Structure 1
Amino acid sequence: MRKFSSPVIQALNNYVYIYSHPVTNEIFYVGKGRGNRIFSHLDEQSDSQKVKYLADLVLSGLKPNLEILIHGLEDEKTAFRVESSIIDLIGIKNLTNKQSGYKSATFGRMSLKQINALYDKESIEIDETAILIRINQAFRYTMSEIELYDYTRGHWVLNPERANNAKFAFSVYEGIIQEVYEIVNWYKAGTTYNIRQGNENIKRNELEDLETRYEFIGNLASEYIREKYKFKSVEHYFKRGNSNPIMYKNV
């Protein structure tokens, strides 16, 4: 089947669908749409991971399983959020989707502590020598510990002297401290191994001017420090309109 009839399309309204492997039943793609959107990927021509996966199935004499996960959704925004929650549940690394779902960083999968920190903010003053690093563009709540660490530690345009005087680095998203690291040392960006190397999501201009950027290596701060600061709000330190991702405290 490559097409729904008009009565089916009308009944489906907005829906969320999945593609899975016909033998293992492993889900490899999640999408949302209306009408015959679910079939569109079968004829897609691109160099995406999804298209390559489908081509490998064809070469093996197999066809993907196509299923409607939920339908009858009245509006597209709801479909977007359902799609996003499924992607968060499975994990973007386990799918051929190019990106996380709709507003995943805002409404996606979160721990109870993250939910409380977001909607019942507790402000805190920073006593230690520290550098606050906002990673708003890269952050998502489903990041692994190593992803959060690597996206926090570099690559930044900063004042090396002030940065060297900071004992701690605070990973901040939307004014909330997500993690605290004790800094061991700073290095020129791109000179230490990290999982971002070769990542297509790194901005082109960031790659081109690594010579003017820095990254640190470090460890998780002590439990005392992490308990003191993690999931607390420091949004009062950032003036409205201030887009600089770096802020120094007590250095």
Structure 2
Amino acid sequence: MNKQFSKEVISKLKYYVYIYSDPETNDIFYVGKGIGNRVFSHLNSSGDTEKSRLIKLIRDRGQEPKIEILIHGLEDEHTALKVEAAIIDLIGKEQLTNRVRGWQSGVFGRVEINQLISHYEREQVNIEEPAILIRINRLFRYDMTDIELYDATRGVWKIGNDKDKVKYAFAIFDGIVHEIYKVLAWFQAGSTFNSRGSFDDEINRWEFIGQKAEEAIRTNYIGKSVEHYFPKSAQNPIKYINIKESI
């Protein structure tokens, strides 16, 4: 196997997206982007990662991982990052050894048409009910299951007694409402089952249990923009709406 490109090849490749797969099964286990000889760098990695362990396993069989360039000739890294994110979303991160999803895949990755329209049209809506807006930008992805979205929204949060005044919790990503839950009760973080794992070590944090809001409420707000409720510099993921905050 060649382990480096010539200068001539590099000049033609420009930025590219590549995949590693198992030669016996053809199962893809890594997606990456690069320029120059980046594609070969994993072959020399000494780190203890799932990817390096799998490469070692393949080599212990007397084989080499299959390396393919999916697309090349890309003019800039920004474009390569978007393509990489789309490929990771298509295959599914759970099938890969990539530690993280693709760059900004929450925005540029796999997305259903109506969600894409909501993201770019950004129809602004004003909320009339007592509510808490919860931004889940770090955890969100468009292909989340209902339970994954629910658990990402409901906890765990560092909030005070005003939480008990809210009726609805809004799941917000990039300023857009993606789901609304009717809050039934709040509990100490880690005290209820959560598909994300245990939060027993979280001190002074809370999680709610609830159910999807009435269809009329969901129809009014899902897919609409509430980014006007968050100042540009706002770091707090939580925003109360129509709540008289405690003094």
Please, what TM-score do these two structures have when normalized by structure 1? 0.88
Unaligned runs of 5+ in 1: 199-205
Q: Does 1:165 align with 2:165?
A: yes
Cross-structure match for 2:30? 29
| CA distance in 2 between partners of 1:166 and 1:6 (Å) | 62
Deviations 1:161-207 (A, max 9, x none): 32123221100122211111122221111222223227xxxxxxx98
Q: Report the counterpart of residue 85 of structure 1 in structure 2.
A: 86
2:64 matched residue in structure 1: 63
CA distance in 2, matches of 1:85, 1:96: 16
Q: Structure 2: where are the runs of 5+ without partners?
A: none
Cα distance between partner residues in 1 of 2:216 and 2:58: 51
The equivalent residue for 1:221 is: 213
1:166-185 to structure 2, matched below 5 A, reads 166-185=166-185
Separation (CA, whole Å) in 1 of partners of 2:14 and 2:155: 44
- List per-residue Cα deviations over 1:16-59 (Å, max 9, x = no partner): 11011212212111011122211111121122221122223234
Partner of 2:159: helix, strand, or coil? coil
Q: Which aligned pairs between 1:70-109 and structure 2 lie closer than 5 A?
A: 70-109=71-110
Report the Cα offset of residue 107 of structure 1: 2.0
Matches within 5 A, 1:195-206: 195-197=195-197
CA contact (8 A) 2:123 2:224 kept: yes
Q: What is the aligned residue count?
A: 242
Residue 234 (structure 1) aligns with? 226
The 2-side partners of 1:179 and 1:109 are apart by: 18
Q: Summarize deviations over 1:81-115 as a string: whole Å, max 9, x none.
A: 11111112112222111111122122222222222
- Structure-2 residue corresponding to 1:193: 193
**What SS is found at the alignment partner of 2:51?**
helix
The 1:236/1:69 distance shift into structure 2, 3 A limit, reads same
Closer, same or farther: CA 238–6 of 1 in aligned 2, 3 Å: closer
The separation in 1 between residues aligned to 2:152 and 2:226, in whole angstroms, is 19
Alignment partner, residue 243 of structure 1:
235
AA at the equivalent of 1:166: V
CA shift at 1:118, angstroms?
1.6
Structural RMSD (CA): 2.0
**2: CA distance between counterparts of 1:6 and 1:123?**
51
Cα distance, 1:132 vs structure 2? 1.0
